[in-house]
Amino acid sequence: MIDLEGPVLVTGTDTGVGKTVVTAALASLLLSRGNSVEVIKIAQTGDENDAAEITRLCGVRARALTAYPDPLAPFSAARRSGLPLLELEDVVEAASDVQSDVVLLEGAGGLLVQLGAGGWTARDLASELGCPAVVVARAGLGTLNHTALTLEALTRRVIEAAVVIGAWPAEPGLAELENLKDLPGPRLGRIPEGAAALEPEEFRRRAPGWFDLSESPDSVLDQVTGEASLLITSSGTALRMKKLMALTLGVFSAIGGFVDLGDIVASGVVGARYGLGLTWAVVLGVIGICVFAEMSGRIAAVSGTPVYGLIRDKLGPGAALVNLIASFAVTLLSLTAQIGGIALVISLASHIPHIVWVIPVGIGLWLVIWRVKFDNMERAFGLSGLTIAVFAVALWWLDPDWGALGQQVASVAPPAGEPLPTYLFYAIVLFAAAMTPYAVFFFSSGGVEEGWKPSDLRTQRLNVMLGFPLGGLLSVGIAAAAATVLLPKGVDVKTLDQVVQPAILAFGAAGLAVALFGFFAATVGAALECGLSCGYAMAQYFGWPWGKRVAPKRGARFHLTVGLCLLVGVLVVQTGVDPIQVTEYSLVFTAVALPLTYLPVLVAANDPDYAGEHVNGRLSNGLGIAVLAVIVIAAAAAIPLMILTRMGA
């Protein structure tokens, strides 16, 4: 089914098929989905005022770009009246320069009627804008041919289309009923005859019911975010398949998205020094992040409030400001580390020093945030991050002493000769690497952006409960590989190319390529999350409009904040500071700042205002408090241990 976002052309198989009523009905549908809409009538001809009619029916702002007095095709009407013709560029600009989520463009007459200077048609407009077309068709005899011709004309220019029957008779005859079965194209809806005569309130109320946004069973499974798939299609299997795909993708994205530069470095360093002896810390971290993310996600789905939204409400502006400054600083530090990490990864692949790459990386990140669609972005980097599994595969390939590894996992004390404080320091570092708050800011804000509802709870819970633990396994894979290859050699991991060794050892250049690709995806994904989270935290504290789902113009301060943070990150890394060191500091401070963000979320998860009927039960609260205890201990011990052990030397 076509995407009802941005500009959408409403055209017809003929004149008088009901485009105006369909436009008004579509607008009502979009309003009912929470979108903002406006309508542009490209050229009004004759005495009628379609724009006013649309506004009357559905209350949406509608205007005509130009009007000609004669009831002819616009090109001809203009010629007769001597009034100027519309330029295609002007219409494209008018259609692009709107504030609403969707702008419906109503043509005049059929698809290939000439509308303006040079004879451009509605089809040319849709092609220029890259937007889909809604084709309004008749119900009765003759419609099959007209509809097929119109659709073919659109397909020729690669314009996506869907069909709406403009006036379905109250008492359909044989022709109408047969045509209903044979009408080509994805069927978007069917407007009953006489709809324009309804009272506007009734029209608005009934209009959404005239449409069917579900996928037809033969179409490609493209819209996998599960949007509007609550309507029954004629093939229940296709619907279930689609939901399953959405779930799988979500889980895989979470797995791949779990790992960032902090996890990579911490796992590599720890693996080379303690083998798998600190796996218990990773387990604690994974449990912690699952609990934290689940509560935040639940709150986002039930109340539409992202984490930073509730912090100010729960703590008051003063305490929340302290919180904001701390979280913002830590997230910015993480962002800096990730940017450095990306540059490092590219330098490992290209043999050109990382300093050179910093500015291009910064620009690239900003462009992605500026232009790329939210869920595509998340999915792409999450899935690509799965390739970090190459370390687990390398491990298996290198045939390690599984028994020894198993023993290490079970141990909760430092190996002989290793001082306890350093051991505990690294435990905190690993724990913090798993429990990064920015991930939770991003996750919950993303949930609000994607419009999660309570019905999405189960899916999101599964994403979290499956995705994060499996993501933790990826980190453990890096540590285990390091344990097998680097620990016996007594390597003290300080650089990224050391962490990559096991992959090279097992698979040579191919292993290196895959590992670097995975690191690239993980660090880019993390950098995007950190950058956006800085913006989310700031915007949500102050109450600014925010998000990628609105045009940057409508979230100006949000985008400015994100842009400035990227700039700061780039500048800091340009000074030549070692990104690995920055990462280690960012992890320590993450641990310290955690309680500030976690506690209000735990409290909000118990508040019916925020969690509705899905407030924490005994188990959630038990786990929640246990995690809180660990977080507080880690926060208290982090800096003293850092100083005592001189950053784990």
Task: Return the number of the residue (325 or 510) whose C-beta is nearest other proteins.
Answer: 325
Q: Which of 32, 49, 235, 621 binds other proteins (CB under 8 A)?
A: 621
**Of the candidates 339, 624, 627, 635, which one interacts with other proteins according to CB under 8 A?**
624
Query: Binding to other proteins by residue 307, rule CB under 8 A?
Result: no
The nearest distance, CB 573 to other proteins, in angstroms, is 23
Lookup result for tokens 């409403």: 10
Contact between 223 and other proteins (CB under 8 A)? Answer: no
- Taking CB under 8 A as the criterion, the residue among 568, 615, 633, 639 binding other proteins is 615
Q: Is 602 in the site for other proteins (CB under 8 A)?
A: yes
* 227 is an interface residue for other proteins by CB under 8 A: no
Which residue blocks in 351-419 are alpha helix, DSSP H? 354-371, 374-385, 390-397, 402-410
Q: Give which of 96, 115, 104 is closest to 31, Cα–Cα.
A: 104
- 309 interacts with other proteins by CB under 8 A: yes
> CB-wise, 96 or 145, nearer to other proteins?
96
Q: Minimum Å distance from CB 560 to other proteins?
A: 5
Torsion of CA 265, 364, 467, 314, to 10 degrees: 90
Instruction: Tell me: does residue 447 bind other proteins (CB under 8 A).
Output: no
For the window 555-574, what string marks contact with other proteins as x by the rule CB under 8 A? Answer: -xx-xx--------------
Residue 610 within binding range of other proteins, rule CB under 8 A:
yes
Give ∠ CA 333-338-344 in degrees, rounded to 5: 130
Q: Is 337 in contact with 583 (CB distance < 8 Å)?
A: yes
* Cβ closest to other proteins, residue 21 vs residue 129: 129
- The count of C-alpha atoms lying within 13 angstroms of the C-alpha of 494, restricted to the half-sphere facing its C-beta, is 7
User: Judged by CB, which is closer to other proteins: 403, or 543?
Assistant: 543
To the query of whether residue 41 is one of the catalytic residues in this protein, the response is: yes
**How would you classify the pairing of strands 61-64 and 161-168?**
unpaired
Candidate segments 186-194, 345-353, 521-529, 550-558, binder of other proteins by CB under 8 A: 550-558
Q: Which 3-state string (H, E, C) describes 19-62?
A: HHHHHHHHHHHHHHCCCCEEEEECCEECCCCHHHHHHHHHCCEE
Task: Give min distance, CB of 463 to other proteins, in A.
Answer: 22
Cα–Cα distance, 598 to 327 (Å, whole number):
11
Q: How far is CA 78 from CA 113, 434, 578, in A?
A: 13, 66, 67
How many helices (H) and strands (E) would you count in the chain?
24, 9
Pick from 44, 223, 253, 305 the residue near other proteins by CB under 8 A: 305
Q: For 119, left (φ over 0), alpha (ψ -120 to 50), or beta?
A: left
Nearest to 573 by CA among 395, 328, 355: 355
Catalytic residue among 19, 41, 242, 548: 41
Rounded Cα distance, 125 and 135, in Å = 14
Task: Name which position in 470, 548, 588, 594 contacts other proteins (CB under 8 A).
Answer: 548
* Choice from 144, 329, 550, 568 touching other proteins (CB under 8 A): 550
* Nearer residue to other proteins within complex by CB, 160 or 607: 607
Around Cβ 228, how many Cβ atoms within 10 Å?
15
Interface with other proteins, residue 33, by CB under 8 A:
no
Q: Which is nearer to other proteins, 438 or 536 (CB)?
A: 536
Q: Which helix (H) or strand (E) holds 192?
A: strand 187-192
Name residue 9's beta-bridge partners.
105, 133
Q: 477-514 in b/e burial notation, b at 16+ Cβ within 10 A? A: bbbbbbbbbbbeeebebeebebbbbbbbbbbeeebbbb
User: Is 607 a binder of other proteins (CB under 8 A)?
Assistant: yes
The only residue of 36, 248, 498, 581 in contact with other proteins, by rule CB under 8 A: 36
The rounded distance, in Å, linking the Cα atoms of 171 and 173 is 6
Residue 317 in contact with other proteins, rule: CB under 8 A: yes
Q: In what order do the strands lie in the sheet with 102-106?
A: 61-64, 37-41, 102-106, 6-12, 133-137, 161-168, 187-192
- Cβ 371 to other proteins, closest distance in Å? 6
Q: Does 542 bind other proteins (CB under 8 A)?
A: yes
User: From the CB of 522, what's the least distance to other proteins, in Å?
Assistant: 22
Please select the residue that binds other proteins; options are 567, 608, 640, 643, rule is CB under 8 A: 608
Told to check if 94 binds other proteins by CB under 8 A, we report no
Pick the binder of other proteins from 304, 400, 421, 595 (CB under 8 A). 304
Cβ atoms 436, 589 nearer than 8 A: no
Contact between 89 and other proteins by CB under 8 A: the answer reads no
Say which DSSP state 10 is in: E
Nearer to other proteins, 206 or 554 (CB): 554
Choosing from 214, 303, 387, 436, the residue that interacts with other proteins (CB under 8 A) is 303
- Binding marks (x or -) toward other proteins, 264..293, rule CB under 8 A? ------------------------------
For residues 240 and 238, what is the distance between their CA atoms, to the nearest angstrom? 6
The stretch among 45-53, 476-484, 516-524, 545-553 that binds other proteins (CB under 8 A) is 545-553
Evaluate the CA torsion angle 542, 548, 554, 557 in order and state its sign.
positive
Count of residues in contact with other proteins, rule CB under 8 A = 58
* Smallest separation, CB 358 to other proteins (Å): 21
Q: Which of 212, 313, 497, 578 binds other proteins (CB under 8 A)?
A: 313
Q: What is the pairing mode between strands 6-12 and 133-137? A: parallel
Single out the segment in contact with other proteins by CB under 8 A; choices: 260-268, 319-327, 422-430, 490-498. 319-327
Nearer to other proteins, 484 or 540 (CB): 540
Structure tokens at 435: 């429990």
State the nearest-atom distance from the C-beta of 27 to other proteins, in Å.
14
Q: Which amino acid is at 555?
A: G
Query: CA neighbours within 13 Å on the CB side: how many for 506?
Result: 23
Please, what's the largest Cα pairwise distance for the chain?
97
Rounded to an integer, what is the distance from CA 501 to the centroid of its chain? 33
Shorter beta-carbon distance to other proteins: residue 390 or 599: 599
Least Å distance between CB 318 and other proteins?
Answer: 5
- Binding to other proteins (CB under 8 A) within 355-374 occurs at 370-374
Instruction: Pick between residue 25 and residue 562 the one whose CB is nearest to other proteins.
Output: 562
Which residues of this protein are in contact with other proteins, per CB under 8 A?
A: 5-6, 34-36, 96-98, 101, 303-305, 309-310, 312-321, 370-374, 539, 542-546, 548-554, 556-557, 559-560, 602-603, 606-610, 615-616, 621, 624-625
Q: Could you list the active site residues?
A: 41
